[in-house]
Structure 1
Amino acid sequence: MLITPAIVALQGIALSVAGTVLLASGFAGRILRRWDIHSGSELQLRMERQTYLISTLLGFALGAELLSLLLFVHTAESLSSQFVGAMCATGVLNVNAFGFPTLLLKIAVFFLAALWLLLNRVDNRGYDYPLVRVKYGLLMVIAPLTVAEGVVQTSYFLGLTPEVITSCCGSLFSSESKGVAAELAGLPPWPTLVLFYGMAGLILIAGLLFLRWLRLGPLFATSSLLGFGVAITAIIAFLSLYVYENPNHHCPFCLLKVGYDYVGYALYLPLFAAAALGLSAGVIAPFRRIASLQAVIPSEVRQLTALALIGFGLFYALATWLMLRSNLVLLG
């Protein structure tokens, strides 16, 4: 096992988050069974006092979880020089069977944690804790995922031995290989490009309609998640080719390298933020009918939607600029 400050930090975050979420899950079970805002019982008063403390602790823990995704990818990229055959984060994640599952779990928890944090923000603005059952119900979904993430991440780091010879992006993201990555790399550029920009139009239209009619929240949430998936697909299928100016290099991780001006961070950060904000806005909107949130949710949701559209706009603008400035002629 390799020991670096980043790995220690990631393990510390995973342990802290899993511990905090498990501790809060016991309280969440009590909330789901016994919460009654109209009751003046001693138990109800105690839960009302405790929910503020628990929510604050969860806010810090899940906020750290959001950052851990970025730290994990950056750490994988920085370790590429430690393994034979690894040229980027792909090779490091391929060192053992736990690398990519850890990444996928972190992405799933990222979106759920962002949703929980924004639900909690709205709930705290209601005078009667109107979303307390909703957010603690969501916590019960997040809890097993954080535990699984901690276990899988620990297994991954324990299996990082420099003696391992790994395979990198040249073999994984190749149209001649087998698997999901190879299937994405082998997608034809023109149809994928049309889908990519068609999705941009759908997100924009759904967002503008949602700003006008909040009942369209599910449409915007769905389009945000679909847009995220299409964007990742497009990065692998054709956008990365323009950045590398190489028609056979499909890796989504080499974009994070200094040789490409760290352009991957500029692409992924607004994309992930926009998808999380769009999902959250769409999920929160239906609760606008609750009396204590009628004055809160419309403005909150419109703000989240505007930020999501800005994030998607930044991503698509940068992606378009990267294609226009490239010397590669892929679709000529």
Structure 2
Amino acid sequence: MILHPGVLALITGSAITLLMLCYAAINGAMIFFAWNYNSSSASQLALERKTYLISTLVNYGLGFQIIAFVLFIFTMDDIHRLFVGAMCATGSLNANPVGWYALLSKIIVFFLSGFWIALNYIDQQAEQYPLVRLKYALLGGIVPCIGIDFTLQLTYFLGLEPDIITSCCGSLFGSGGESTASSLAALPVFPAMVAFYSLSIILISVMVLNLAFQAGVFRYLLALFSALFFVLAIVSMISFISVYIYELPTHHCPFDILQQEYNFVGYPLYLTLFGGVYFGMLPGLFQPLKNTAGLAEIVAGVEKKWVQCSMISCLCFIAFVTYAICLSKLTYFL
């Protein structure tokens, strides 16, 4: 194990957060089975006070999980210098292959945490807390995911040793390899660009329709295209975006762009991408809540802000990508 500040912060913070969320899940289960808003008993009043405190605790815990995702990426990039053969976060993750599973779990927990926080916000805007049972049932499913994430993260960090000789992005994202990453790197650049910008136009058009009309079908379409855009954006990052940033037709690593050498451009790229996709999925995911008594106006009022946030984030991401391509000295297309 490497005693790096980021590693210690992630392990300690994640352990404390997991304990907090386990405590919250246990109390949430008690609230789930005993909740009856129509009752005026002393036990119900106690539950109403408790649910506010538990929800606040969960908000902070899941908020840490979102921050921990960014810290994990930063730490992976920062510790690469400790391994022979590593030049970026790819080398750090290859030093113990469990790291790739930890990264995937971080992404999943990032979105699950964000969805629960948004659900809790909607619930607390309503007078009768109609989503209490739903949000605590979901919490019961999220906590095991966070437990798995913590286990993968701890296993990864415990398996790291400074004397490990690791491979880096040249072997993993080389177009001549047989891995999935190599296959993505080998995609022709021009067709990938056409697909990326075509889906970008479709996504922004759907956002405009969502701002102009209230039909639920547009909310579902936005969630669908946001998810598709996330996948295609990651593929494009490997296929051509990184190529133009590095100005090297053979360099497809999605992690080197996080480094100072490239002005840390990866951070605004990934933050706007994740933010745009997250806010873009919320209106579609929460559309069924409009059928719940007392929530139709609340959801309708907040989903416009979600669409606006998603549009701003996605436009910024597309602008960053376009700016990098236009300023690049590379003219490699095929």
> What are the superposed Cα offsets for residues 99-154 of structure 1, whole Å, 9 maximum, x if unpaired?
11111100000001011111111111100112222222221221111001111111
Report the counterpart of residue 204 of structure 1 in structure 2: 204
Unaligned runs of 5+ in 2: none
Report the counterpart of residue 213 of structure 1 in structure 2: 214
Tell me the CA shift for residue 292 of structure 1. 2.0
Tell me the CA shift for residue 86 of structure 1. 0.2
- Pairs aligned (count): 332
1:313 aligns with 2:305: no
CA distance in structure 1 between the partners assigned to 2:134 and 2:178 by the alignment: 41
Aligned-partner residue type, residue 190 of structure 1: F
Instruction: Name the SS for the 1:101 alignment partner.
Output: helix
CA distance in structure 1 between the partners assigned to 2:198 and 2:281 by the alignment: 19
What does 1:94-105 correspond to in 2, within 5 Å? 94-105=94-105
CA distance in structure 2 between the partners assigned to 1:130 and 1:179 by the alignment: 47
Report the counterpart of residue 69 of structure 1 in structure 2: 69
Of 292, 295, 314, the residue aligned with 2:294 is 292
Tell me the CA shift for residue 249 of structure 1. 0.3
Aligned-pair identity (%): 39
Instruction: Name the SS for the 2:314 alignment partner.
Output: helix
Aligned-partner residue type, residue 303 of structure 2: V
Tell me the CA shift for residue 43 of structure 1. 3.7
CA distance in structure 1 between the partners assigned to 2:31 and 2:199 by the alignment: 40
1:328 aligns with 2:330: yes
Report the counterpart of residue 264 of structure 2 in structure 1: 262
Aligned-partner residue type, residue 224 of structure 1: S
Report the counterpart of residue 251 of structure 2 in structure 1: 249
CA distance in structure 2 between the partners assigned to 1:281 and 1:43 by the alignment: 35
CA change 1:312–1:47 in 2 (3 A) is same
CA distance in structure 1 between the partners assigned to 2:232 and 2:65 by the alignment: 24
What does 1:144-293 correspond to in 2, within 5 Å? 144-211=144-211, 212-216=213-217, 217-293=219-295
Q: Which moved more, 1:155-164 or 1:206-215?
A: 206-215
Tell me the CA shift for residue 207 of structure 1. 1.5
CA distance in structure 1 between the partners assigned to 2:215 and 2:64 by the alignment: 31
Tell me the CA shift for residue 231 of structure 1. 0.5
Q: Which moved more, 1:255-264 or 1:41-50?
A: 41-50
- Deviation beyond 4 Å, 4+ runs, structure 1: none
Tell me the CA shift for residue 214 of structure 1. 4.4
> What are the superposed Cα offsets for residues 156-205 of structure 1, whole Å, 9 maximum, x if unpaired?
11111011100000000112212221121111212211211121122112
Unaligned runs of 5+ in 1: none
Report the counterpart of residue 117 of structure 1 in structure 2: 117
Aligned-partner residue type, residue 300 of structure 2: P
Q: Which moved more, 1:41-50 or 1:254-263?
A: 41-50
CA distance in structure 1 between the partners assigned to 2:239 and 2:290 by the alignment: 40
> What are the superposed Cα offsets for residues 213-261 of structure 1, whole Å, 9 maximum, x if unpaired?
2413222112111111111110000110000010000000000011101
Instruction: Name the SS for the 2:36 alignment partner.
Output: coil
CA change 1:322–1:266 in 2 (3 A) is same
- Partners of 1:13 and 1:65 within 8 A in 2: no
Instruction: Name the SS for the 2:294 alignment partner.
Output: helix
CA distance in structure 1 between the partners assigned to 2:30 and 2:282 by the alignment: 25
Aligned-partner residue type, residue 242 of structure 2: S
Aligned-partner residue type, residue 255 of structure 2: F
Tell me the CA shift for residue 42 of structure 1. 4.1
Report the counterpart of residue 91 of structure 2 in structure 1: 91
> What are the superposed Cα offsets for residues 260-289 of structure 1, whole Å, 9 maximum, x if unpaired?
011101101111111111112321233123
CA distance in structure 2 between the partners assigned to 1:218 and 1:304 by the alignment: 14
TM-score by length of 2: 0.95
